Amino acid sequence: MMATTRKKRTKRPAARDEERVETLHPAGKNGVRITRPRYDSMRRALLKVIPRRAAGVAFRELAALVGPHLDVEAFRGASVTWYVVTVKQDLEARGLIEVVPGARPQRLRRARR
């Protein structure tokens, strides 16, 4: 029987040592806590790719659109799609973005202030 060797995976610094952000949920449900670097990077990326115009952008396109704007190191090994959904909900709850009324599938735009 031959022994197999495994490569050691390098780990990110312990997430518990990083500052966290408590996200909000637009329906008033409990948010989740995510690390500050991931939150800030995703927030900036979403606000760059979500337009102010009335038509907005399709929700399903967001993960692909934010990719080039994200901090690669912060999202190594993370589900970008999960963070898109979580931070999108937070930005909705804070009134920075909104769902385009009547649009199917869901479309988003920057909120009018």
Number of domains in the chain: 1
The answer to whether residue 1 is domain-embedded is no
Longest dimension (CA), the chain: 69
The answer to whether residue 32 is domain-embedded is no
Per residue in 55-80, pLDDT (tens digit) is 999 999 999 999 999 988 888 888 99
Between 8 and 100, where is the model more confident? 100
Whole-number pLDDT of residue 1: 56
Mean pLDDT of 86-97: 97
Whole-number pLDDT of residue 110: 97
pLDDT bin (cut points 50, 70, 90) of residue 16 is low
The answer to whether residue 23 is domain-embedded is no
Whole-number pLDDT of residue 5: 60
Query: What is the C-alpha separation between 60 and 107, in angstroms, rounded?
Result: 9
Which residues face 41 on adjacent strands?
none
Which residues face 34 on adjacent strands?
21
Tell me which residue range forms the domain holding 101: 37-110
Query: What is the C-alpha separation between 15 and 57, in angstroms, rounded?
Result: 32
